[in-house]
Amino acid sequence: MTHPMAALLVGLATSYVVIGACFAVVFVARGIDTIDPMARGASWGFRLLVLPGSVIFWPLLLIRWAARSMAPPAELNAHRRRTRRAA
């Protein structure tokens, strides 16, 4: 791998983590209550535990937060497809 390519990958990864960290702070403080009703009134200890995952999965959480979706996404696997065809 060439130096410019490595520098680009490191820059992209750094940007992803920085954006994720900024998003995670706001999400853990305000947004988690919107998409997870069980997190309402949760302690800051719980929110601190959720913070690293929020940094990593920020694009998925942002989509759910923007859609104000409380229901977890439906799992679609071979068993569910087969059940849908039979019904």
What is the 3 state secondary structure string of the chain?
CCHHHHHHHHHHHHHHHHHHHHHHHHHHHHHHHHHCHHHCCCCHHHHHHHHHHHHHCHHHHHHHHHHCCCCCCCCCCHHHHHHHHHC
pLDDT class of 9 with cuts at 50, 70, 90: very high
Terminal Cα distance for the chain, rounded: 52
> Are 54 and 35 spatial neighbours (Cβ–Cβ below 8 Å)?
no
Is the pTM above the cut of 0.75? no
Q: For the segment 40-63, what is each residue's pLDDT rounded down to a tens digit? A: 888 999 999 999 999 999 999 999
- Domain housing 37: 3-86
Number of domains comprising the chain: 1
